[in-house]
Amino acid sequence: MYSARMATQDRLIESTQDLLWERGYVGTSPKAIQQRAGVGQGSMYHHFEGKPDLAAAALRRSAEQLQAAAEADISGPGTAYERIAAYLNREREVLRGCRMGRMAQDPDVIADARLRAPVEETFGRLHGRLAEVIAEGRADGELVPGPDPADLAAAVLAVVQGGYVLARAAGTAEPFRQAVRGALGLLAAQRTV
């Protein structure tokens, strides 16, 4: 699964990222992490104080990766609408859900400020960037005046997160795609061009 060249610490973090996504915090045991990473208990505790420390590192890395992927879409070329469409239409593992969204639903993550922080930060940054793009679209005359950009940005985020939930419940990605099409239709109605 992992190359011999990948550092033990990176293998532990990556394994924890995947297990948190699949099983949640409680379902991610140190033994499962060690087995997935192909390391012994001593290696894990050499690099991390324990499961909470490793989980925090894994959540920070997931947050960085998700934010970087979103930023690539949001900061790409095109109009405000095209950049938001790129974000909404990005290839995703819809039936697995969102790494950060799943953690927002995990009571053990939410109860721990250190674990919750990367989740809050990720959604805060995404919300802020989407609101900026919407405001830019208005300032450029591409989008008509209307609801507060922060409100529209929250709606876009809710479409993505809600789309994941609906898709997982249905066992098919179609509800996610349908939610995205609906959001893009609503945004298209805001365009002046």
Quick one: average pLDDT of 46-72? 94
Asked if the structure places residue 72 within a domain, the reply is yes
Q: Which residue has the tokens 């469409």?
A: 85
By residue range, what is the domain housing residue 105?
8-188
Residue 8: exposed, middle, or buried by beta-carbon count in 10 A (0-12, 13-18, 19+)?
A: middle
Asked if the structure places residue 16 within a domain, the reply is yes
Asked if the structure places residue 1 within a domain, the reply is no
Asked if the structure places residue 65 within a domain, the reply is yes
Q: Is the pLDDT of residue 6 over 80?
A: no
- Per-residue model confidence (pLDDT) at position 157: 97
- For 108-139, what is each residue's pLDDT tens digit? 999 999 999 999 999 999 999 999 999 999 99
Length of the chain in terms of residues written: 193
- For 148-162, what is each residue's pLDDT tens digit? 999 999 999 999 999
CA-CA-CA-CA torsion for 158, 164, 166, 172, nearest 10 degrees? Answer: 150
Among 46-50, 67-71, 122-126, 131-135, the least confident range = 46-50
Asked if the structure places residue 90 within a domain, the reply is yes
Q: What domain count does the chain have?
A: 1
Give the C-alpha distances (Å, rounded to integers) separating 187 from 54, 91, 142, 190.
40, 20, 11, 5
Task: Write down the mean pLDDT value for the chain.
Answer: 94
Quick one: average pLDDT of 101-113? 95
Q: Provide the pLDDT confidence category of residue 45 given band limits of 50, 70 and 90.
A: confident
- Per-residue model confidence (pLDDT) at position 37: 92
Q: What is the CATH number of the domain that holds 154?
A: 1.10.357.10
CA dist 164 and 169 (Å) reads 9
CB 24 within 8 A of CB 106: yes
Asked if the structure places residue 41 within a domain, the reply is yes
Asked if the structure places residue 193 within a domain, the reply is no
Asked if the structure places residue 118 within a domain, the reply is yes
